[in-house]
Amino acid sequence: MSISVVFYKSSGEITRVRSGSVAGVTHDAESSGGTYLMTDESVDVNANYISSGEVLTKPPQPNDGSVFDFSSGEWAFDIELARSLRWTEVKGSRSAYEFGTFELNGNVYQCDEVSQRRIQGAVQLAVLDSEMTIDWTLADNSVIQLTAAQLIVVGGALAAHVNLSHERGRILRAEIEMASTEIELEAITWSI
């Protein structure tokens, strides 16, 4: 016969579950020095908790910004966790925007990290040689010819694009830090 021993904290949080023979599980439980409960039920460390000596199932988590309160058996909104999660989402959106594309004079330029380095290098060359021209591949794989002066404008447009993404990120970061409710946090989204 196989049983399980459920080790848990005084709060009711399950720390680990060990299953096996009655003799082996009993020995491990008694020698642990910790709080435990013997059961023949299937216990999931993440889905269950202990209350009044019983294995109970946590209700569904209402949102990612909630933490389980073992003493009440309910989920509670954690503003700090929710702020952190929202900031992570905003940073992801900021990076997608910054390293996506930008448009200048009807042309769409790639601006992933490699493309940004290529544009910066071409701008440096244009500063050194004002008579140069270069064939440039756009985001749709079409090719245009750019003069040194045009390359410098492209470099400026890239810098403005990157600055805009970080400027928007700073504004949203401040809004996230000021938010005090779940509704306020949900209203904060990336847009430019």
CB neighbours of 145 closer than 8 A, spacing ≥ 6? 133, 134, 135, 136
Match 């905003």 to its residue by tokens.
Answer: 90
pLDDT at 1: 66
CA neighbours closer than 13 Å in the CB half-sphere of residue 47: 5
Residue 49 has pLDDT above 80, yes or no: yes
Compute the mean pLDDT over every residue in the chain, rounded to the nearest whole number.
Answer: 94
Q: pLDDT of 105-118, one tens digit each?
A: 999 999 999 999 99
pTM for the whole structure: 0.79
Beta-strand relationship, 14-21 and 101-104: unpaired
Q: Where are the domains of the chain?
A: 2-77, 79-186
CB neighbours of 69 closer than 8 A, spacing ≥ 6? 75, 76
Q: Collapsing DSSP states into helix, strand and coil, what is residue 139?
A: coil
Q: pLDDT of 112-162, one tens digit each?
A: 999 999 999 999 999 999 999 999 999 999 999 999 999 999 999 999 999
CATH code of the domain made up of 79-186: 1.10.287
Tell me if 65 sits within 8 A of 185, measured CB to CB.
Answer: yes
Rounded to whole angstroms, the Cα distance separating 14 from 55 reads 9
Alpha helices by DSSP H, 99-181: 113-128, 148-178
DSSP state of 183: H
Tell me if 65 sits within 8 A of 82, measured CB to CB.
Answer: yes
Structure confidence at residue 2 as a pLDDT band (50, 70, 90): confident
